Amino acid sequence: MEKNLSNLEKSINVVFKNKDLLKNALVHRSYLNEHKNFALDHNERLEFLGDAVLELIVTDYLYKNYNDAEGTLTNWRSSLVNRDQLAQVGEALKIYDYLYMSRGEAQDNNKKARSYILANAFEALTGAIYLDQGYEVAREFITKNLIINLDKIIAEKSYIDAKTNFQEKAQDIVGITPNYKVLSESGPDHNRKFVIGVYLERELVAEGEGYSKQEAQTDAAAKALAVKKWLD
């Protein structure tokens, strides 16, 4: 079924010269399993490009607008470009409504899977905008839709991620540095799901899930903070 992508163009305020680039950014790998003769590839190469473009734009903005230490700027950048943040922006732009996915994938109500797909699609869309319109248009798109959230991140101190927070609390309160172990892996290579445990010596404090080891570790740390009642 063909999608009316002109509405998405209005939403992102970018009119593509090459409409296939826009469409390509929205093709999930699963769609090709059911549509073997589809003219375009999945969006993972565009996602790879968009990830780099996104990081450069955010880094450039932070460098030019803030005189803070490298470590602080790195934390702010990480908070802006993490999966949850990108997925939230993708939701706001209603990107999910325009994705080409298999019927099974489209009907999956798993929130983590949806966030993962949305974040990847946002990166792919960024890559497509860069190829079609150039750096300046991509910069405007990222500034308007993503960097706008920076003030809130700084005000709420959400850039101090759960993993760092749990490590600092554990070292301060019990004198132990947490360690993480992969408890299980599942799913295909392109959509691997990890379950990771966070330990204080031999004590398994909590388990976290994610579509990368970093994401699962952060989830485990956030749950561990709640278990230990170290949430301030």
Burial of 36 (0-12, 13-18, 19+ CB in 10 A): exposed
pLDDT (0 to 100) of residue 151: 94
The tens digit of pLDDT for each residue in 202-223 reads: 999 999 998 889 889 989 998 9
pLDDT (0 to 100) of residue 104: 78
Which stretches within 38-106 are classed as H helix? 44-65, 70-81, 83-92, 103-106
pLDDT (0 to 100) of residue 232: 67
Single out the residue of 136, 133, 125 nearest to residue 57, CA to CA: 136
pLDDT beyond 70 at 1? no
Specify the CATH number for the domain of residue 177.
3.30.160.20
Positions marked catalytic: 51, 123
Assign 159 a pLDDT band (cuts: 50, 70, 90): confident
Beta-strand (E) ranges in the chain? 179-186, 193-200, 203-210
Specify the CATH number for the domain of residue 100.
1.10.1520.10
Whether 1 is in a domain gets the answer: no
pLDDT beyond 90 at 178? yes
pLDDT (0 to 100) of residue 2: 67
pLDDT (0 to 100) of residue 105: 78
More confident residue, 191 or 193: 193
pLDDT (0 to 100) of residue 78: 87
* Number of domains making up the chain: 2
End-of-domain residue from the set 126, 156, 186: 156
Is the separation of the CB atoms in 75 and 160 below 8 Å?
Answer: yes
Whether residue 84 is found in the same domain as residue 135: yes
Whether residue 148 is found in the same domain as residue 179: no
Single out the residue of 141, 126, 144, 138 nearest to residue 25, CA to CA: 126
End-of-domain residue from the set 129, 156, 183: 156
- Domain residues for the domain of 110 are 6-156
More confident residue, 173 or 191: 173
Whether residue 183 is found in the same domain as residue 129: no
Q: 3-state DSSP call for residue 200?
A: strand
pLDDT (0 to 100) of residue 112: 80
Assign 156 a pLDDT band (cuts: 50, 70, 90): confident
For 159-188, what is the mean pLDDT?
91
Whether residue 101 is found in the same domain as residue 182: no
The tens digit of pLDDT for each residue in 35-58 reads: 888 989 999 999 999 999 999 999
Is the separation of the CB atoms in 44 and 190 below 8 Å?
Answer: yes
Pull the structure tokens for residue 80.
């802006």
